Amino acid sequence: MKDMEVKNLINLEEISHKTSLNLIASENYPSKDVLNACGSVFSTKYAEGYPGARYYEGCEISDDIENLAIERAKKLFGCDHVNVQVHSGTQANQAVFLSVMKPEDNILSMKLDQGGHLSHGSKVNFSGKIYECNFYGVDRESELIDFDQVRKLALEKRPKIIICGASAYARIIDFEKFSNIANEVGAYLLSDIAHISGLVAANVHPSPVPYSDFVTTTTHKTLRGPRGAMIMCKKEFSKIIDKSVFPGMQGGPFMNMVAAKAVAYNEALNDEFKSYAKQVVNNAKKLSSVISSNGFRIVSGGTDNHQFTIDLSRNNLTGDEIASLLRKNGIIANKNGIPYDNLPPKITSGIRIGTPALTSRGMNEDQMDILGNLIVGIINNRNDNNMLNKLSNDVKALASGFKLPGVD
Ligand SMILES: *Cc1c(COP(=O)(O)O)cnc(C)c1O
């Protein structure tokens, strides 16, 4: 690369990943093949429209690559129809809303501060500005989705769409239960599996496809593809979904990203991906149990998927201070609210921990054991600089033993 300023920053970013341990639950390391497709000649191409019906000339090969991505996605998730052009998870949800709702129609979704997502009706997001939104949450005791509340609100508010799926929820989501409630009140069911789609693809989490009118997901989280998203839907919604993506909401598709999605879907069809997905969950279970056996409470008591949240309130600590302490010592995780948090979103009482990125680097339960003790050690020795020095060297040593897929 000739641009030394940018090249230098890319190198620094690479070194920062190599020498630290990434526990951001929404991040992952895609393969070199995925990255190569992102940087390929397809980034040149304008291909507004869909295969066989484009508004530009010279799209025959773009048709082939998009058809290939579609075919592989259908095989992977067993869906009737899929749109692989949508640029991001937020836009995928937007396209679904556009397809069946009018402004001021009603959405029922999970509260943002109990695990939901901005694009599910938050006041600061387009979804909360355009549509009327009501929210369900988790039970105070079990910290599991409160289905009595979901049903009660559904009967009371008669939403046009019920959304299930979350950004910070560590337990299995019962899509069938959501579907029964949606059917009872005549609502569409949108399952947003942005976080867990890799686990769903590998059968490590039940699939929402048989129960949902629409399924949206990002492609870059547990699914380990390029940055982007996709929308699956029942056959009857195929046309309105495609129309609402283009021309409804987007211009030309990013054909390079469509190519990279095709690569990622194919990778996810392999047995190697299935063992990766199992390992992601085993790693999260192991890491949460090491941390909880050292005096920290885990929200809902543990995890069934790739992530969990540590409740620091009983230790008189905040998410903000511990995320920054861990960062200084080479462990990257984000502060996160816990259900019924007493602290504001900029501070929070929790730390969200996810294992996809480290699992993609090849780590297993043995490393999770070491890592759990490092996390606990760093928190408990936060006022002892000598100990912190030693511990952050241990973090670097652990990180340097594992390559970054797609980079090394
Ligand atoms: C990450 C996420 C999204 C949004 O993805 P972007 O690509 O960042 O817009 C949507 N829904 C859920 C549940 C998510 O976790």
Mutate to test the pocket of ligand 1, among 117, 212, 306 (most ligand atoms within 8 A of CB): 117
Specify the pLDDT at position 217: 98
Ligand 1 pocket, residue 361 CB under 6 Å:
no
Closest atom of ligand 1 to 220 CA is 7
Instruction: Indicate if ligand 1 lies below 6 Å from the C-beta of 26.
Output: yes
pLDDT in the model for residue 244: 98
Contacts with 38 (C-beta within 8 Å, 6 or more apart), sequence order: 226, 256, 257, 259, 260
CB of residue 306 inside a 6 A radius of ligand 1: no
User: What's the distance, CA 15 to chain centroid?
Assistant: 24
The two three-digit tokens of residue 260, written as one number: 């990279």
- Indicate if ligand 1 lies below 6 Å from the C-beta of 192: yes
Q: Which residues of the chain have pLDDT under 70?
A: none
| pLDDT tens digits, one per residue of 357-376 | 999 999 999 999 999 999 99
**Helices H, strands E: what count in the chain?**
15, 15
DSSP 205: S
Tell me the residue type at 17.
H
Q: Is 173 in the pocket of ligand 1 (CB under 6 A)?
A: no
Question: How far apart (Å, rounded) are the C-alpha atoms in residues 211 and 319?
Answer: 36
**pLDDT for res 86:** 98
Q: Residues 256-267: pLDDT tens digits?
A: 999 999 999 999
Cα 136 from chain centroid (whole Å): 20
Q: Which residues are catalytic?
A: 46, 48, 192, 218, 221, 227
CA 152 to CA 174: how far, in whole Å?
Answer: 17
Cβ–ligand 1 contact at 218 (below 6 Å): yes
- In this predicted model, what pLDDT tens digit does every residue of 20-46 receive, in sequence order? 999 999 999 999 999 999 999 999 999
What per-residue confidence (pLDDT) applies to 407? 87
Atom of ligand 1 nearest to the CA of 227: 7
- Best probe residue, ligand 1, of 191, 218, 220 (max atoms within 8 Å of C-beta): 218
Cβ-defined contacts of 146-151 (< 8 Å, 24+): 147/174, 147/177, 147/181, 150/108, 150/178, 150/181, 151/181, 151/184
Helices (H), 101-161: 126-130, 147-157
Question: Residue 57 contacts by C-beta under 8 Å, 6 or more apart in sequence?
Answer: none
Question: Which of 119, 191, 196, 197 for a ligand 1 pocket mutation test, highest count of atoms within 8 Å of Cβ?
Answer: 119
Residue pLDDT, tens place only, 59-115: 999 999 999 999 999 999 999 999 999 999 999 999 999 999 999 999 999 999 999
Does the Cβ of 217 fall within 6 Å of ligand 1? no
What pTM does this model have? 0.97
Q: In degrees rounded to 5, what are phi and psi of residue 54? A: -100, 160
Give the Cβ contact number of residue 376 at 10 Å.
19
Query: Domains of the chain, with CATH numbers?
Result: 32-268 (3.40.640.10), 279-400 (3.90.1150.10)
Directed axis angle between helix 319-328 and helix 365-380, to 10°? 110
